Amino acid sequence: MIGPLSKASLCYWHRFTRALLSGSHCLPFWFAVSKVWELCGTREACFRPTTTMRGVSALLLAAATIAPALAANQTQDGLKNVKHIVLFMQENRAFDHYFGTMAGVRGFKDPNVHISKNTGKSVFHQPVNQSMVKVADGPDTDYMPPKNVSELMPFHLPYQGGDYKERTQCILCGSNSWQANHAAWNEGEIDRWALNNTPYSLGYFMREDIPVHFALAENFLVADAYYEGQIASTDPNRVTWFSTTINADGSAAGGNVSMGGTVLDNNRDPKCIQGKNGDKYSCRPLHWKTVPEYMSDAKIDWKLYQDFDNFGDNTLVEWRQFQLAAKNKTDLAKRGLSFSGLKSFFEDAKNGTLPEVSYIVGPQYLSEHAPYMPNDGAWLQREVANAVMNGKAWNSTVLMVSYDETGGWADHVMSPHAKRGTPGEWIKDPFTADGKLAPTGPGFRLPFYIISPFTRKGGVYTEPTSHESQTLFLEEWAKANGKPFHVSVMNKWRREQLSNLVNALDFNSTDTSVPKIPEVTEPTKDPITDEYNGAWNCLLKFKGDVQPKIPYGTQEEEKALFQEPGFKAVRGNLTEGRYLSFVSGKRRLSFQSGKLGTEVHKGHFTEKQLFVLHWQGQEPKDNEFKVTAGDKYLTSDLSLTKDKSQGASFAIFDNGNGQGHSAQELKSGKFLTLKGDNVTLEKEPSSFKLFTVTM
């Protein structure tokens, strides 16, 4: 019997993986697994269960952990084809708020939606009561519910029709503060969005309201497991974007006040903020090293594009070294603090002369931060995307569009967190007098999509991802191109548990075609200042009356939780929250009368072809699931049972670079395989195309 890995076996495994990774970068992962089998003597010996690691053999998990590394290794030549990376971050929108109705993503038809222990209902049913009060950043509207109403579900913001589609473009929401969003999270129950923020937090848009956002996301690749870096406001998240850390106590950056303290709130003053427990935080200036500085050291050409009205979103100005660079007019200031303007970005993109890495910080009125309008932001996004897609370097460019934080808009999914007490991930909450421990992040989900020839018609990306992931991608890309750098201030847990986005790109199916993105009216400008003013025009037109009536007591669940029917191909290692179809060749995995079988891959997906994953892990990257077909669990002998304890555990891997996914039953170490009408477990791996489906 193989027991827990000893120091000797760990050293042996280390030598084996190093030798493996030093070979051909085209070496398939499952070849690596076969080598493990050879070293064990028999396949069965490698996969005998142990009493450790939740019953999964240590060697199996060791083999599983190298899958992402090998997938990344296989794409090294592909990453060399990437010459330009553009990182573009907008403001204050949540995933459900924008894309909860989108087909084939973890949206309002989520089969794994959390059931609150406090209410006994899904978190789509948010409690409301007579104690609700207006929050500091909320709209000036009376939103107390009638006495007979105790809950509110998500609602389409322009549901009243008429001109509300226009009015709700400049709607206000609630608070994006640490306090409001930790309260909404409520120790994991996610049931106080309306109570501790505002009922408007539950409002969402649909395709008809934001067609440009839908078009950009769906013509390329959208992520539905991309989280805020921090459960907090703009500065903490943009500081994370630029540096991978907020300098929390115990973090890799240090955590002490002399370095700037922990960045938990927005601060433009050259001093610290003091919490209720007496602790100081969000001090200015900051002193640790930023990602752009690491790139400069590695001789990577980078630049930040911004106009003067940048909303304070270029948080590089908060670091002491950038302040000194501005004073001394050094290269660091020229690259990161100058106001070359977005027009220069459009020109550089057109001519194929963008630097290797570009950051874009948009104008305030185009940022999409409520009340600044989604449609005005859509115009900017369309301009950026078209400049890249029609530029001379389109075939070698990757454009990532993200948002800094939710802005008080609700999302029903919070990222898994590090184990309580993990240094740099849990801190004494300065907003409470007792200083109880609270997680810094990652937080709720945000819209995120990647526009590139390597993501064209890519579907949905499912790996746990956050702002740090963009830096992890930069590191992988730099290493492949002979300019390696390693951001040492990134916390160990984030580095280990968040996706590096490599699986989002498929270098075997490059598609440089340019989709037609819907037209959108250019935002209005003040005739004197020449600055954008769309939100003010909207508010003036409607005399500030832009908040819809809250639909208390009138909601029907099917209508409130609408999600478009359709499907998307899956990229990345799996997370839960979707109805999945497994396709191999011309057959689909199916179930009928309590048995697994196959059906011809043709026509619409049916309910008998859809399966649901139930995550059994603790850390974001834990690859262990039980699988249900209808109301029954898949067992280790591929039968179906209502007894959850008899359900088998599976690992599902993205084989990397467009090679599909493989599903492995963990007890036997064998792989799910479709053979004609039959479904079997085989010793050799089998590849599936995976689709996430909304009926």
**pLDDT tens-digit profile of 533-591?**
999 999 999 999 999 999 999 999 999 999 999 999 999 999 999 999 999 999 999 99
Mean pLDDT of 75-95: 95
| Mean per-residue pLDDT over the chain, rounded | 89
What span, in angstroms and rounded, lies between the C-alpha atoms of 27 and 18?
Answer: 13
Q: Does residue 11 carry a pLDDT above 50?
A: no
pLDDT at 278: 86
The model carries a pTM of 0.90
What span, in angstroms and rounded, lies between the C-alpha atoms of 426 and 436?
Answer: 10
> By C-alpha distance, which of 248, 283, 259, 253 is closest to 269?
283
How would residue 387 be classed by pLDDT, with cut points 50, 70 and 90? very high
What span, in angstroms and rounded, lies between the C-alpha atoms of 403 and 92?
Answer: 6
Is residue 236 within 8 Å of residue 228, measured between CB atoms?
Answer: no
How would residue 136 be classed by pLDDT, with cut points 50, 70 and 90? low
pLDDT at 434: 86
Is residue 185 within 8 Å of residue 114, measured between CB atoms?
Answer: no
> By C-alpha distance, which of 356, 378, 382 is closest to 367?
378
How would residue 303 be classed by pLDDT, with cut points 50, 70 and 90? very high
What span, in angstroms and rounded, lies between the C-alpha atoms of 140 and 107?
Answer: 29
pLDDT at 16: 31
> By C-alpha distance, which of 445, 442, 448, 447 is closest to 416?
442
* Tokens 């499952």, residue located: 30
- Which helix (H) or strand (E) segment is 78 a member of? helix 76-80
State pLDDT tens for residues 623-660.
Answer: 999 999 999 999 999 999 999 999 999 999 999 888 99
Q: Look at 63-67, 105-109, 389-393 and tell me which has the smallest mean pLDDT.
A: 63-67
Report percent pLDDT > 70 for the chain.
89
pLDDT at 73: 58
Helix (H, G, I), strand (E, B) or coil at 692: strand
Better pLDDT: 158 or 51: 158
650 strand-pairing partners = 625, 665
Better pLDDT: 207 or 252: 207
State whether the Cα torsion 627-599-563-631 is positive or negative: negative
Q: Does residue 316 carry a pLDDT above 60?
A: yes
HSE, side-chain direction, 13 A CA sphere, residue 79: 25
How would residue 25 be classed by pLDDT, with cut points 50, 70 and 90? very low
Mean pLDDT of 19-25: 32
Q: Does residue 71 carry a pLDDT above 90?
A: no
